[in-house]
Amino acid sequence: MPTEPENLLVGLVALALVPLIALRIVRGIRQRRLPLYRTYLDQQQAGAGRFNLLLGLHVLSLLLIALVAADLLLGLGIRERL
């Protein structure tokens, strides 16, 4: 377990973001539109390529935030190896 309290705090915040990002991804796949700043990007308007790129960026952010949360909460030592 991490000994520093800031690791625990940041890890919990990162862990709280994971379901929110996952909800965005699921809604994006179902409704075929993703939030982009204060508006939405529809697949039909933007084209399949741009929509899939934005969806891929959302998935990448989900994976990175989950990795940060796991590293900080479980003390995996990924940060020290990089």
Instruction: Please tell me the pTM assigned to this model.
Output: 0.85
- How many whole angstroms separate alpha carbon 35 and alpha carbon 56? 13
Q: Are strands 33-36 and 39-42 parallel, antiparallel or unpaired?
A: antiparallel
Give the model's pLDDT for residue 3.
58
Give the model's pLDDT for residue 79.
78
Top pLDDT among 1 and 17 is at 17
How many beta carbons lie within 10 A of that of residue 8, not counting itself?
14
Give the model's pLDDT for residue 2.
46
Question: 46-74 pLDDT, tens per residue?
Answer: 899 999 999 999 999 999 999 999 999 98
By the 8 A CB rule, do 54 and 17 touch?
no
Average pLDDT, the chain: 90
Helices (H) and strands (E) in the chain, counts: 4, 2
